[in-house]
């Protein structure tokens, strides 16, 4: 079941999360999430990712959320077909996959925060729309591959 | 299975294996070497063949691993390979003289546009990531099933589907941008340009209408046209066709140009 992204804001942190059922094997979803160079082809929220998404890897991500900024991120957790976490000192993006029948229960969340968070919280745009687009793109592409006649 | 049975069955798919390796490595010598190594390895490991797959699938798995070992140390070619090589060709008088000599003297020296279409795919497919290159050849040209490709490459079936989907999309996008046969905005005319050089009395347009992919360009969608392009590769044996010697000479030229080009961009 698809749900719209939700954000819970607190004084020192903010967390956005989204969940979706994807009618595709977790291996396909995982492949889409971990092939860095392929992101711009299917994901309308990512302009480019340089580097390799692998255990201990470092990536430089450009997104439509802030076109002028390059996010320098480290891959913090890498459990194939189950869990991927990347982030920086400010926060972490967590992708979780769970096999469910012939498909995948997908969830994505990002928590940003820290002692200085209240000072710049107002400058950080909402992630909700971007999360919804990311999830819709992932679902569409993974299900297209799953259904491919080839 | 015994080594005697292997020696009887191996030749039934040896030509396909050699052509697969040529299209993967773009090198006649590497393809021939890997075929030999594959046979020797299959012979030495025949006791481990349990019949979980066909012998052909098992042998292609050995060959794919040997090819991967070789190709992992080499850089992938750029999408613009044919443009780069064309420029080099125009500056290399020796190349065209040799090619013309092959054209005039060899029984396998014909120039055919459909042969060049297959040759062009071989060069451009080397810009795909290695796994994607292997998957697209095994599925689209050598007609292995997804399950068999998963066995050959030791991947899950889902990953095979992923690589196939991405590679097809990428190749379609590349040809959209350069092949005037299937996209009227395309810019590459090398096949007809070469036809003018090697077959000066032959009208390129007349030759093109003999090719289903070119004939159907306005009526079919991208996927269909890509499948028609793959049909051309399926029907051609790059070592045995009437244009083989000319095309292999051209391929070796491109391979050498690419080797130099990739060294220089280090």
A chain contacts of residue B166, beta-carbon cutoff 8 Å? 35, 38, 41
What phi and psi, each to the nearest 5 degrees, are found at residue B179?
-100, 110
At B185 the pLDDT is 65
Burial A46-82 (b: 16+ CB within 10 A, else e): beebebebeeeeebebbbebeeeeebebebeebeebe
What tokens does A38 get? 């392929």
Average pLDDT over residues B118-142: 96
Same domain, B61 and B180: no
Is 90 exceeded by the pLDDT of residue A114?
no
At B67 the pLDDT is 98
Cα B15 from chain centroid (whole Å): 14
Q: How confident is the model at residue B266 (pLDDT cuts 50, 70, 90)?
A: low
Angstrom distance (rounded) from CA B5 to CA B3: 5
Same domain, B82 and B66: no
Q: How confident is the model at residue B234 (pLDDT cuts 50, 70, 90)?
A: very high
Give me the residues paired with residue A93 across strands: A86, A110
What phi and psi, each to the nearest 5 degrees, are found at residue B200?
-60, -25
Same domain, B19 and B47: yes
Domain holding B62: CATH number? 1.10.1740.10
How confident is the model over B4-45, as pLDDT tens digits? 899 999 999 999 999 999 999 999 999 999 999 999 999 999
Interface membership of B209 toward A (CB under 8 Å): no
- pLDDT higher at B237 or B207: B237
Q: Which residue in A31, A52, A140, A143 has the most chain B C-beta atoms within 10 A of its own C-beta, making it the best mutation to test that interface?
A: A31
Same domain, B62 and B98: no
Is 80 exceeded by the pLDDT of residue A89?
yes
Choose among A26, A32, A41: nearest Cβ to B169.
Answer: A41
Q: Which domain holds residue B57?
A: 1-74
Angstrom distance (rounded) from CA B244 to CA B249: 8
Residue of chain A with shortest Cα separation from B144: A150
Average pLDDT over residues B173-177: 85
Angstrom distance (rounded) from CA B122 to CA A5: 45
**Which pTM does this prediction carry?**
0.87
Out of B74, B91, B123, a domain closes at B74
How confident is the model over A48-67, as pLDDT tens digits? 999 999 999 999 999 888 87
Domains of chain A with CATH codes: 6-147 (3.30.530.20)
Average pLDDT over residues A15-38: 95
Q: How high does pLDDT run on average in chain B? A: 89
Q: Which of A125-139, B60-74, B112-126 has the highest mean pLDDT?
A: B60-74
Q: How many domains does chain B have?
A: 2
Contact: A32, B161; criterion CB under 8 Å: no
Average pLDDT over residues B104-126: 88
Average pLDDT over residues B177-183: 74
Same domain, B146 and B18: no
Average pLDDT over residues B82-110: 86
Out of B17, B48, B74, a domain closes at B74
Question: Chains A and B: how many Cβ contacts under 8 Å?
Answer: 35
Out of B23, B40, B74, a domain closes at B74
Same domain, B50 and B140: no
Is 70 exceeded by the pLDDT of residue A15?
yes
At A113 the pLDDT is 86
Same domain, B87 and B149: yes
Give me the residues paired with residue A87 across strands: A74, A92
Residues in A lying within 8 Å of B, measured between beta carbons: 24-28, 31-32, 35, 38, 41, 144-146, 148, 150
Average pLDDT over residues B95-124: 87
Same domain, B50 and B157: no
At A1 the pLDDT is 56
Q: Which residue in B131, B138, B159, B162 has the most chain A C-beta atoms within 10 A of its own C-beta, making it the best mutation to test that interface?
A: B162
Same domain, B140 and B171: yes
Same domain, B145 and B174: yes
Q: Is A8 exposed, middle or buried (0-12, 13-18, 19+ CB in 10 A)?
A: exposed
State the ipTM, two decimals: 0.80
Contact: B166, A41; criterion CB under 8 Å: yes
Alpha-carbon distances, residue B60 vs B35, B138, B204, B243 (angstroms): 10, 9, 38, 26
Same domain, B65 and B81: no
Task: For residue B165, give how far its alpha carbon lies from the nearest alpha carbon of chain A (Å).
Answer: 6
Same domain, B234 and B208: yes
Task: For residue A55, give how far its alpha carbon lies from the nearest alpha carbon of chain B (Å).
Answer: 19
Q: How high does pLDDT run on average in chain A? A: 91
Q: Which of B134, B117, B165, B127 is nearest to B24 (CA)?
A: B134
């Amino acid at each position: 079941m698809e749900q719209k992204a939700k954000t819970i804001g607190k004084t020192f942190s903010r967390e956005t999360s989204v969940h979706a059922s994807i009618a595709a094997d977790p291996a396909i979803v995982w492949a889409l999430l971990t092939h860095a160079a392929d992101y711009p082809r299917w994901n309308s929220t990512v302009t480019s990712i340089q580097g390799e998404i692998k255990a201990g890897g470092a990536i430089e991500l450009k997104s439509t959320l802030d076109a002028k900024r390059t996010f320098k991120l480290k891959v913090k957790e890498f459990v194939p077909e189950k869990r991927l976490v990347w982030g920086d000192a400010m926060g972490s993006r967590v992708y979780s996959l769970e096999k469910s029948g012939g498909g995948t229960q997908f969830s994505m969340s990002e928590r940003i925060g820290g002692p200085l968070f209240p000072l710049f919280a107002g400058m950080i745009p909402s992630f909700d729309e971007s999360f919804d687009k990311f999830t819709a793109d992932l679902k569409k592409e993974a299900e297209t591959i799953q259904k491919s006649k080839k | 299975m015994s080594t005697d049975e292997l020696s009887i069955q191996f030749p039934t798919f040896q030509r396909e294996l050699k052509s697969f390796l040529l299209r993967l490595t773009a090198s006649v010598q590497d393809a021939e070497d890997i075929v030999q190594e594959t046979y020797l390895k299959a012979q030495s490991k025949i006791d481990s063949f349990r019949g979980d797959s066909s012998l052909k699938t098992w042998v292609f798995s050995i060959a794919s691993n040997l090819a991967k070992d070789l190709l992992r140390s080499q850089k992938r070619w750029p999408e613009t390979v044919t443009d780069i090589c064309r420029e080099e060709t125009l500056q290399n008088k020796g190349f065209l003289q040799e090619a013309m000599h092959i054209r005039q003297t060899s029984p396998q020296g014909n120039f055919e546009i459909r042969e060049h279409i297959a040759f062009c795919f071989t060069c451009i497919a080397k810009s795909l990531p290695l796994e994607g290159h292997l998957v697209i050849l095994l599925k689209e040209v050598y007609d292995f099933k997804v399950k068999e490709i998963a066995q050959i490459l030791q991947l899950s079936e889902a990953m095979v589907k992923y690589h196939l989907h991405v590679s097809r999309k990428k190749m379609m996008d590349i040809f959209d941008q350069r092949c005037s046969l299937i996209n009227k905005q395309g810019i590459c005319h090398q096949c007809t340009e070469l036809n003018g050089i090697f077959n000066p009395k032959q009208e390129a347009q007349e030759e093109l209408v003999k090719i289903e992919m070119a004939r159907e360009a306005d009526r079919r969608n991208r996927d269909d046209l890509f499948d028609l392009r793959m049909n051309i590769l399926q029907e051609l044996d790059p070592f045995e066709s009437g244009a083989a010697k000319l095309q292999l000479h051209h391929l070796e030229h491109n391979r050498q140009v690419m080797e130099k080009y990739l060294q220089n961009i280090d």
